[in-house]
Structure 1
């Protein structure tokens, strides 16, 4: 992952929130951001499995 200025990125998240936001709203946005970034990094590293493999592991093959 690129070396981001975390404080600046946090400010951007805060600035996008509505005025009546709660701490939970902010924490959710941070969680979503981290999750998406982690997923993108996994994808770039080819650390992924196919939909068919997921279905097989979950017993959902049809």
Structure 2
């Protein structure tokens, strides 16, 4: 079974707009688009194995393990 191809951006944007409450602001719309885009980029990075282990980040920033 093959994964379902992602919806076109226009359709994804429509889903976000339709999920907003009637009194939503432009800021709320932009925030939801930003969050969606950030999550999708993170998932792409994870799939492509472009990740850094938490322990490595803690070491780089001098934080306790």
> What is the TM-score of this pair, normalised by structure 1?
0.89
RMSD: 1.3
1:38-49 superposed matches below 5 A: 38-49=41-52
Higher relative contact order (CA 8 A, sep 6+): 1
Gaps of 5+ in 1: none
Distance 1:51 1:35 in 2: 19
Count of equivalent residues: 61
Unaligned runs of 5+ in 2: none
Q: Which runs of 4+ in 1 moved over 2 A?
A: none
User: TM-score, structure 2 length as denominator?
Assistant: 0.86
- Bigger fraction of residues in helix: 1
